[in-house]
Amino acid sequence: MHQRTPEITIIGGGIVGLSVALGLLQAGRTVQVLDGADGDARASQGNFGLIWGQGKGWNFAPYANWTMDALAAWPAFAQLLQELSGINLALDQSGGYEFFTDVQEMAGFTAEMTQQASHLGNRASYEMLSGDDLRSQLPGLGPKVVGASFSPRDGHLNPLRFLRALRIAVQNAGGRLRTGASVTTISPQPRGGFALTLASAEVLHSDQVVLCAGLGSAPLAGDLGFTTQVKPQLGELLITEKLGVRLPFLSSTIRQVDEGGVQIGGTKADAGIDDRESLRVMSDLARHAVTVLPALADVRVVRAWGALRVMSPDGYPVYAKSAAHPGAFLVTCHSGVTLAPLHASVLADWILNTSPTPDLEAFDECRFALSHAA
């Protein structure tokens, strides 16, 4: 069966793909999003919901500045999504902490924040606080906390509500969203455009293709001439019962969602494609949370899960245009929530080659070839 699809097809219906689709729709393009099977590894359904900049790009200036641009763009983007979807994302950008219980670990992060600030210039905004300073400001903080960094620009939102809002916004903006549409091969056509074969054997055609399928991009990237090898990174979470009181802080490892439950996370592990949680890691997470805020010792854990992040070879985003097959693009990153406002605006301009086209050369996949050559 052959069917003509819209001029741009997004492969991947997670936060990254939907954000890119929304930006292209806002620019007046006709867009279709192909979302895969329910059993696919989905970072968008297991993320922590942070909008975070601390330490990001400390050794890569383009990423430090890209992240700062995204943080500044979030309030207007949240308002746009609410207008298009009718969903309040529970956005809160009132600042966040990175807590430390080890002096040397804090010293290392302090050096990273200093380097990040050198990239950001007068846009840098953070402070390093001692444990005693923190305990005077945050009631109930544990005695083993030696200090923390704080940035007033960081925040969080309800991640599942965000994903739902994106899906609705894309459709209300005129986009077509197909679920259960797993792409098995992409074939560039001699006269331009692409033929996309689905697992159902249906063949679709598109003038342009943007590959945003996360870990599912790996078997398709070569069809379009891309060489980036993404890999999974396992993160594990604990979810507590809903609390009637609000936590006195937001941190990168402990956050309270707007409904009242507390999420505890922050782990990183190379576990292949296995997203199962482990008792050892769950115990470590609980121990960390109680060390930071001892009152959590009396709170019940009601859920636990593991989810796979999408990581490029150096951990930074990849925005690549295929030299071999014009009209094909690769977009992958592990900070899809934080970067969403830029994916829905600046990145769309880059894909459409508008004037002035944003300079995203630093995020091209050619940097991997250059590093190997060096």
Instruction: Write out pLDDT tens, residues 34-75.
Output: 998 665 555 445 577 999 999 999 999 999 999 999 999 999
For the chain, what percent of residues have pLDDT higher than 90? Answer: 79
pLDDT at 274 over 90: no
If asked whether residues 140 and 248 sit together in one domain, one would say: no
59 lies in some domain: no
* Of residues 16 and 359, more confidently modeled: 16
For the ranges 32-46, 97-111, 114-128, 239-253, which has the lowest average pLDDT?
32-46
Summary mean pLDDT of the chain: 92
The pLDDT tens digits for 303-333 are 988 888 889 999 999 999 999 999 999 999 9
Q: Does 280 lie in the same domain as 222?
A: no
**Band (371; pLDDT cuts 50, 70, 90):** low
Choosing from 277, 311, 345, the residue where a domain stops is 311
Closest C-alpha to 256, from 271, 269, 267, 245? 245
State the average pLDDT over residues 71-84. Answer: 98
Q: Are residues 39 and 174 in the same domain?
A: yes
Q: In what order do the strands lie in the sheet with 254-256?
A: 254-256, 262-264, 231-240, 301-311
- What confidence tens digit (pLDDT) does each residue in 131-184 have? 999 999 998 999 999 999 999 999 999 998 999 999 999 999 999 999 999 999
Q: Give the model's pLDDT for residue 357.
A: 72
CA distance 288 to 220: 39
- Which residue type occupies 211? L
The dihedral region occupied by 55, where left means phi > 0, alpha psi between -120 and 50, and beta the remainder, is: left
User: Is residue 205 included in any domain, yes or no?
Assistant: yes
210, two tokens? 């943007």
Let me know whether 144 and 277 are in one domain. no
pLDDT at 44: 47
Q: Is residue 200 part of a domain?
A: yes
The domain boundary residue, chosen from 276, 295, 311: 311
Same domain, 243 and 301: yes
Confidence of residue 278 (pLDDT cuts 50, 70, 90): confident
pLDDT bucket at 373, cuts 50 / 70 / 90: very low
User: What percentage of the chain reaches a pLDDT higher than 70?
Assistant: 94
The reply to whether 326 and 202 lie within a common domain is: yes
Domain end point (choices 111, 134, 152): 152
Q: What is the pLDDT of residues 335-352, one digit of tens each?
A: 999 999 999 999 999 999
Domain count, the chain: 3
Please tell me whether residues 224 and 334 are part of one structural domain: yes
For 120, residues 6+ apart whose C-beta sits below 8 A from its C-beta are 64, 65, 68
Q: Are 260 and 281 members of one domain?
A: yes
Identify the domain containing residue 248 by its residue range. Answer: 231-311
- The mean pLDDT value for 13-19 works out to 96
The continuous run of DSSP H or E covering 277 comes out as: none
| pLDDT recorded at residue 372 | 47
Asked if 298 and 350 sit in the same domain, the reply is no
Q: Worst-scoring range by mean pLDDT, 11-20, 74-83, 277-286?
A: 277-286
Tokens standing for residue 49: 């919901």
Residue 275 has pLDDT above 60, yes or no: yes
In a domain, 84, yes or no: no
* Position 67 in a domain: no
CATH number at residue 265: 3.30.9.10
Report pLDDT for 348: 93
DSSP E strand boundaries for the chain: 2-4, 8-11, 31-34, 50-51, 96-100, 127-130, 147-151, 155-156, 176-178, 183-188, 194-198, 203-206, 208-211, 231-240, 254-256, 262-264, 301-311, 318-321, 328-332
Residue 204 pLDDT: 95
Q: What is the CA radius of gyration of the chain?
A: 21
Q: Give the range among 26-30, 98-102, 171-175, 352-356 with minimum mean pLDDT.
A: 352-356
Based on the fold, state whether residues 270 and 198 are members of the same structural domain: no
